[in-house]
Amino acid sequence: MIIKPKVRGFVCVTAHPGGCAAHVDEWISYVKSRGSIPHGPRKALVIGASTGYGLASRISAAFGSGAATLGIFFERPSEDGRTATPGWYNSIGFTKAARAAGLYAKNVNGDAFSDEIKAQALETIRNDIGQVDLVVYSLASPRRTHPRTGAVHKSVLKPVGSAYTNKTVDTDKGIVSSVTIEPANEQEIADTVAVMGGEDWEMWMNTLADAGLLAPGAQSVAYSYIGPAVTWAIYKNGTIGLAKNDLERAAKNIDSLLRARVGGKAFISVNKGLVTQASSAIPVVPLYISILFKIMKARGLHEGCIEQMQRLFATQMYAAAGPRFDEAGRIRLDDLELRPEVQASVARIWPDVTTENLATLTDIAGYRSEFLKLFGFGMAGIDYAAEAEPHVAML
Ligand code: NAD
């Protein structure tokens, strides 16, 4: 079939298999161009490995340090007349490239919150690679079926306490408007913490530790975001921020567990705001990211997922001097984003942005091309007018 982008609001319902593979190759080339990461991970379990920060972590581990990787993700295969999700094609592209380079790579596609998928992952580690020395927890999900209670929790992106009004952009139509979001109720807050908080990460780490599958010195990392004051009501101080606080609580427990059991450690890395499927769903944030990209590119400070994760491994987690933590024990990869001069420029532009000047005051073009790349579109060297085979089996 001829596969073209079909954008519906903040999602694209098609993905291009060859384009996704080319995108993965671009990230692999970047990591290789940075040279090897000495003393990096040898055997990594990446939970949420098919897109965004998780995929970038997997590529950095494999192509930066020659790590064996087991990837866990929840992606939909193709159906008649319908392409698979991009993470499906990305994972096939990654696995082919890793195996061609002589690296172990296996995948488990299914619900990481479930006991079944955890058991499948543990079995694969036990049989194939023995133990893991790195666990990356990079899930972004709208819902979680709790494995003990069977309850289905749905996360919401809402402010807490009072309604929040700010500018937002429809990135597809290029329309800037004002949005008011009513505050979450107690149930919605609890549900969001249940989905995006740290309980599931703790379940994974306890299960792995109890099964003896963590190598001596094993590390685990999960990702968070803080961002600037203009987004705090919807992010840092909103429902998702409360879930991230719970992730930080879990990091402390997991850190104690790893120290006691295998002499390892666990922490949070606070990453930069970037275009991913998860972030494009948050009101206000895409407008902020479009302005941020304009400013960071102009100053030569721009990074994408792969630059961030390569930097995390090379200059923090596996640096000879070890990671540098902030006062709350977190790694900060949002250092460039939060530079005062960058944020002062964002704050200057923010009030002036309108539908009419969106293209000049912000990097909405860069936002859109990054968004389309997530689905394998706009990649050089791909003939999008040619027939493409959407049905590709998972490896
Ligand atoms: P993403 O949407 O690109 O990736 C989410 C991953 O989770 C995919 O691999 C998907 O398959 C997997 N997944 C979702 N539900 C699953 C389930 N039930 N079982 C198994 N796998 C499942 O998201 P992302 O933006 O890379 O986010 C990853 C983490 O990074 C999140 O914790 C997010 O909050 C954090 N983060 C994101 C940003 C940003 O700007 N995008 C910034 C800082 C931190």
pLDDT at 10: 87
- Residues 337 and 274: their CA atoms lie apart, in Å, by 10
Q: Which of 290, 294, 292 is nearest to 364 (CA)?
A: 290
Ligand 1 pocket member 51 (CB < 6 A): yes
Average pLDDT over residues 23-42: 97
Cα(52) to centroid(ligand 1), Å: 6
pLDDT at 293: 97
Pick the residue whose CA is nearest to atom 21 on ligand 1. Answer: 73
Q: Is the pLDDT of residue 180 over 90?
A: yes
pLDDT at 27: 98
Distances (CA, A) of 238 to 154, 178, 188, 189, 313: 15, 18, 11, 9, 29
Pick the residue whose CA is nearest to atom 6 on ligand 1. Answer: 48
pLDDT at 277: 86
Percent of the chain with pLDDT over 70: 100
Label the pairing between strands 175-181 and 164-170.
antiparallel
Cα(299) to centroid(ligand 1), Å: 28
Q: Which atom of ligand 1 is nearest to the CA of 85?
A: 11
- Which residue matches tokens 């100053």? 299
Average pLDDT over residues 237-248: 98
Pick the residue whose CA is nearest to atom 28 on ligand 1. Answer: 138
pLDDT at 339: 98
pLDDT at 9: 84
Respond yes or no: is residue 235 known to be catalytic.
Answer: yes
| Ranges assigned E (strand) in the chain | 7-8, 11-12, 43-47, 68-73, 105-109, 132-137, 143-145, 152-154, 164-170, 175-181, 214-224, 265-270, 331-332
What confidence category does residue 141 fall into, taking pLDDT thresholds of 50, 70 and 90? Answer: very high
Ligand 1 pocket member 112 (CB < 6 A): yes
pLDDT, tens only, 256-292: 999 999 999 999 999 999 999 888 888 899 999 999 9
Average pLDDT over residues 120-149: 98
pLDDT at 283: 87
Average pLDDT over residues 105-111: 98
| Homologous superfamily of domain range 7-157+190-281+302-334 | NAD(P)-binding Rossmann-like Domain (3.40.50.720)
pLDDT, tens only, 44-91: 999 999 999 999 999 999 999 999 999 999 999 999 999 999 999 999
Cβ-contact 303, 272 below 8 angstroms: yes
Single out the catalytic residue among 235, 288, 318, 367: 235
- Residues 259 and 250: their CA atoms lie apart, in Å, by 14
Average pLDDT over residues 14-29: 98
Cβ-contact 361, 352 below 8 angstroms: yes
Q: Which residues contact residue 87 at a Cβ distance below 8 angstroms, ignoring those fewer than 6 apart?
A: 50, 51, 55, 73, 75
pLDDT at 258: 98
Average pLDDT over residues 218-236: 96
pLDDT, tens only, 312-358: 999 999 999 999 999 999 999 999 999 999 999 999 999 999 999 99
pLDDT at 389: 97
Average model confidence (pLDDT) for the chain? 97
Does pTM surpass 0.85? yes
pLDDT at 32: 98
Cα(40) to centroid(ligand 1), Å: 23
- Residues 212 and 206: their CA atoms lie apart, in Å, by 10
The structure tokens listed for 372 are 């389309």
pLDDT at 358: 98
Q: What is the largest CA-CA distance in the chain?
A: 59
Cα(139) to centroid(ligand 1), Å: 4
Ligand 1 pocket member 75 (CB < 6 A): yes
Residue spans per domain, the chain: 7-157+190-281+302-334
Q: Which of 343, 268, 278 is nearest to 312 (CA)?
A: 268
